Amino acid sequence: MLKSLSLISFSIILLVFSNVAPSKNEVQKKILRNGDYDIECYVSLKEVPSFDEDKLYHWYKSGEIHTSRYGAGGYVLHKTYSKFYKSNHLVEQGEFFYGLKNGIWKTWFRNGQLKETMEWYKGEKSGDYVAYDSLGNTIEKGRFRKNQKTGSWINLQTKDTIVYKKGDVFVKEEKPKKDSFFKRFFKKKDDEAKDIAKEKKKKKKKKRVSKKKKEKNIREKSQSTSKKN
């Protein structure tokens, strides 16, 4: 009885481990040492069923990391990715989701100061972006949505703020300001005063013209009378 129970228990343990084991083998660690950098990353041993046409995929083959759109010619990068300077300082770090950048990615200067932080979602820039100078001061910040700049982008060096809408600079049209009640009231009064002044000028002119006509008529009459005499 005990023997049969132990055999059943052993079978159950084997069954559990047989189900868990493949998940452990879904990724494989890769270490690349070339040029000025060392890279530690993981690749997925699972075949990707489909690829998005407009996204950039990162994949591993023959000791190198490659990038391409709409497909991969090797094992796609998956999970943690870390790139180091030879000094052992980080250059870049982030996560991949079956070949696509995903989550928060960071880059660093050689002196160890943070250079950029960027949010990704399955191969697209989507979220907050912050840039720093080599002393650690924030120099620019904004947001991306589907690889396009959106909302307010602030340049802390030039003190400029640019607003983006779907990747393009958005210029808000300013509506003409309406004059205040008092301004409109006094403007109306000024216009009325100007009209009254114009009318007065016209009347004065008419009076001068009629006066001149009368004087002319009087002169002509006096001249004709003197001729008769």
Taking 50 as the threshold, does the pLDDT of residue 14 lie above it? Answer: no
156 and 195 assigned to the same domain: no
pLDDT band at 208 (very low <50, low <70, confident <90, very high): confident
The percentage of residues in the chain with a pLDDT greater than 70, rounded to a whole number, is 83
In a domain, 46, yes or no: yes
6-15, 30-39, 79-88: least confident range = 6-15
Containing domain of residue 161, as a range?
25-169
Please count the structural domains in the chain.
Answer: 2
196 and 115 assigned to the same domain: no
In a domain, 89, yes or no: yes
36 and 104 assigned to the same domain: yes
Q: Are 18 and 10 in contact (CB under 8 A)?
A: no
Determine the pLDDT at residue 5: 42
DSSP character string of 9-74 = HHHHHHHHHHHHHHHHTTEEEEEEEETTEEEEEEEE-SPPS---TTSEEEEEETTEEEEEES--SS
In a domain, 45, yes or no: yes
Q: Where residue 142 sits, what CATH number does that domain have?
A: 3.90.930
Domain boundary among 145, 169, 193: 169
pLDDT per position as a tens digit, 40-79: 999 999 989 899 988 999 999 999 999 999 889 999 999 9
pLDDT band at 21 (very low <50, low <70, confident <90, very high): very low
Taking 80 as the threshold, does the pLDDT of residue 220 lie above it? Answer: no
pLDDT band at 7 (very low <50, low <70, confident <90, very high): very low
In a domain, 105, yes or no: yes
Average pLDDT over residues 155-159: 94
pLDDT band at 22 (very low <50, low <70, confident <90, very high): very low
Q: How far apart, in whole angstroms, are the C-alpha atoms of residue 205 and residue 198?
A: 11
